[in-house]
Amino acid sequence: MPLDDHYYRNNAADYCNNGCKLLSSSDMDGECNLSTELHNSLLLQSFRWIHICVSICSIALVLYICLHHLSRTILDRVSIIIAKTVYLNILAYSFGFGVVQIVKVAHAFARLAAVTPCDAQIPNVGPVHRHLTLPYQVLCLFRMMATSISTAFVLLHVSFTIQQALSSFRFSVKVQCIVATLCIFFTYFYATCYGYFVFHDETLTGTTQFCSSFTPIRVDIIIINLNIMITLDIIKFIFTILLVTYNKKILKNERNSFDLSRTFQRMQNVYTMEPFIPVFSLHSIVHSVHVVLYSVTIYNRSNYSQSEFTILHSVVNLVPFYCLIASLAFITVIKLGRIVRNDHMRNMISPMSQSNIQEVCFKNLKNAWDRPN
């Protein structure tokens, strides 16, 4: 998923369609309108603070889930590996995105002491912010990293569905581990290639208000990636529903075999996939809305001024919110699943008189066996 801020240099005459023109110090003195307009935008500054808070909350929530809840789920070992990779991706994105946002705010505060609006730009010719020049440019790499690995969210969800398909068709755990490893490797290989082809022309020099996350020179690559990701997302969601339906149907047909290991695996597949359908639905909805909003802003960028285009890209960025909402949805699914399983267990071991305890016990076992979930 591509992200929020529109990349631009302080050449307000165009959108860098033919490359970004870097300005000299004398040019900067006369080209501060864009810097001032963006700094004075209440909407942009508000979303900047919102993004910071959301990123910090996402990091804290992911750490809490990984330390206290992930190992207690009914997920099998391979699914836990993929889930941990998803959360590692959320951490990396939230860190890369959040750190840059915090630096932007620090730079905005430093601007209050500046003599002119041009002192807010990087690199700075004035004495007030000269020490911020190199660190700020280096931190743009974190922003590019967040943009690149955002594509991994869809691919990791696809990896999870592939693993569940292998489990449903009774492939060995060894095969599942190998395929999961290959899927994770391909995911980050794709993210690395995407980041390289989009940002390899960036020089991290010149003057800029924000670190780059969108470059008009590579719009074609961004649009192609959007189409690939949304197609995979839709296919993954449909395939997940089909897998749940398949496992439930096979589970009913395999009751007469009394193969406990096979039945447990089917039950585990159902318990793993069915509760996560709302999470996958949430991801698909957020991703679809993000793609639509992002595509509309790109195709209609000629109708906006440069500052309006920049502000709009910040507003339509839904990835930080997805990182937080997906984590909240996951922990909700874990807790609800635990409540349901505990309720089933309490029903099975409810206190009964000694005269009919065996009858009740076997009746409850039969009911649990006959019930797919």
Number of residues that make up the chain = 373
* The two structure tokens encoding residue 73: 């789920």
pLDDT at 168: 82
Token pair of 208 as six digits: 């800029």
pLDDT tens track of the chain, all 373 residues?
433 333 333 333 333 333 333 344 444 444 567 667 777 778 877 888 888 888 888 888 888 888 887 777 767 788 888 888 988 888 888 887 777 666 665 555 555 555 555 555 544 333 333 333 444 556 677 778 888 888 898 899 899 889 888 888 888 888 989 999 999 999 999 999 998 888 877 766 655 555 656 666 677 888 888 888 888 988 988 888 888 888 788 777 766 655 666 666 777 777 777 767 777 787 788 888 888 888 888 888 778 877 787 778 778 888 888 888 888 888 887 777 677 666 666 665 655 444 455 566 666 666 655 654 4
Q: Report the C-alpha gap between 284 and 286 in whole angstroms.
A: 6
Compute the distance between CA of residue 286 and CA of residue 42 in angstroms, rounded to an integer: 25
C-alpha closest to that of 73 among 335, 303, 362, 360: 335
* Cross-strand pairs, 122: 208
3-state secondary structure at position 330: helix
List of long-range contacts for 297-300, beta carbons under 8 Å, 24+ apart = 298/219, 298/222, 298/223
Which CATH fold topology does 25-370 show?
Answer: Rhopdopsin 7-helix transmembrane proteins (1.20.1070)
- Under DSSP, the state recorded for 122 is B
How confident is the model at residue 359, as a pLDDT?
62
Sign, Cα dihedral of 30, 33, 35, 40: positive
Which residue, among 154, 79, 157, has the nearest Cα to 334 in the 3D structure?
79
What is the 8-class DSSP label of residue 200? T
